Structure 1
Amino acid sequence: MRQGVDMKIGYARVSTTDQSLAIQRAALLAAGVQEDHLFEERVSGRTADDRPELQRCIAFARSGDQLFVTKLDRFSRSVRDLHNLLAELDAKGVGFRCLDQAIDTTSSSGRLTLGILSSVAEFELAIRAERQREGIAAAKARNTYKARRSTIDLDRVRDLSARMKPKEAAAVMGVSRASIYRALAAIRQEAA
């Protein structure tokens, strides 16, 4: 039950059921998070939408509260996800504290540190993508580039699309509609 005081709320996550939450739990409790304000989950979710306990945690938080995590990678899986989550917390007036990286968004230096870390992470992603593009271009120049093979069965797409809409074919095959449309384009290109 919520009381009218600012609270320390904790969020802990592990990616598999084999992993333990004990270390994160102990650190959050040591930081002053009460046991009944600790949200835990065992899920690998890429975005916040894939993590129901995180959604419950954010919904529980009120203006003036602080959300504690042990490490950024336990809270967010990408720079974009981190940015979106922090914007949501900020809009609610909820502070964010990361224990291992000593980040505290309730202070100006903490916000600066987080901004720098986010910028470095974005820079690393951009560099990795640039190197990948350069590697592909070099492989194409040497005629050694082999794109990833399609995992979708074009014959099955051809058969299903003759009998149903792309949306239905996607559901039957367990792929996205975009995958079906790409496969149909490849089929048309083969026929041309």
Structure 2
Amino acid sequence: MDQALTGPSREGRKELDNLLQFLRAGDSLVVTRINRLARSISDLQDIVRYLEDKKISLICTQQPIDTSNAAGKMFLNLLGVFAQFETELRRERQLEGIAKAKAEGIYKGRKQSYDHGRVKQLKANGLGVVEIMRQTGISKTHVYRILNKRCI
């Protein structure tokens, strides 16, 4: 699945944008869980503010949230904070695991999809970027990235 669809950002979540545009004053947006709606506390607050401005209530079926009352709004914010905390903890654990694996020589990152040595050799032979692109089928951006890398 595309990162934009699963990451903490609303960017790329076209169906959510379509849904928000479709809702009208007096409607209720019903979701199963708050983490299915927003990926971060700021994202959640933006969505809730948008819904409040449009006079649309938010109801979660698996969590006691109904933004038509004060208790529901408070609980929504608490759940949003905990959801973001959980996301950040998961990310920290992931980074710790990667660092440990790198230190042990287990994790070396994604395999190179281009022959960096060939690109560097072609450049050393005096070829320009355009000719390297033609011979390797690699985009200009990737050729420059390979040539500008300090360690391979």
TM-score bracket for the superposition, by shorter chain length: 0.5 to 0.7
RMSD: 3.9
Q: Kindly provide the CA deviation profile for residues 8-33 of structure 1, in whole angstroms up to 9, marking residues without a partner as x.
A: xxxxxxxxxxxxxxxxxxxxxxxxxx
Task: State whether structure 2 residue 132 is matched by structure 1 residue 188.
Answer: no
Q: Percent identity?
A: 30
Residue 108 of structure 1: aligned partner: 70
SS of match in other structure, 2:59: strand
How many residues end up aligned between the 2 structures? Answer: 133
Query: 1:95 aligns to what?
Result: 57
Q: In 2 relative to 1, CA 135–181 (structure 1 residues): closer, same or farther, beyond 3 Å?
A: same
Q: CA deviation at 1:110?
A: 1.0
Structure 1 unaligned blocks of 5 or more: 1-44, 164-168, 174-179
Give the one of 130, 137, 146 matched to 1:162. 130
Letter of the 1:51 partner, please give it: K
Identify the match of residue 14 of structure 2 among 51, 75, 84: 51
Secondary structure of the structure 2 residue equivalent to 1:128: helix
Name 1:78's counterpart in structure 2.
Answer: 39
1:1-192 alignment runs, 5 A limit: 45-46=5-6, 47=10, 49-52=12-15, 54-72=16-34, 74=36, 76=37, 78-79=39-40, 81-151=43-113, 162=130, 181=141, 184-189=144-149
Query: What amino acid maps onto 1:78 in structure 2?
Result: R
Structure showing the higher strand proportion among its residues: 1
Deviations 1:90-148 (A, max 9, x none): 23222111122121111111112111111111111111121222223323333333112
Q: Which letter maps to 1:134?
A: E
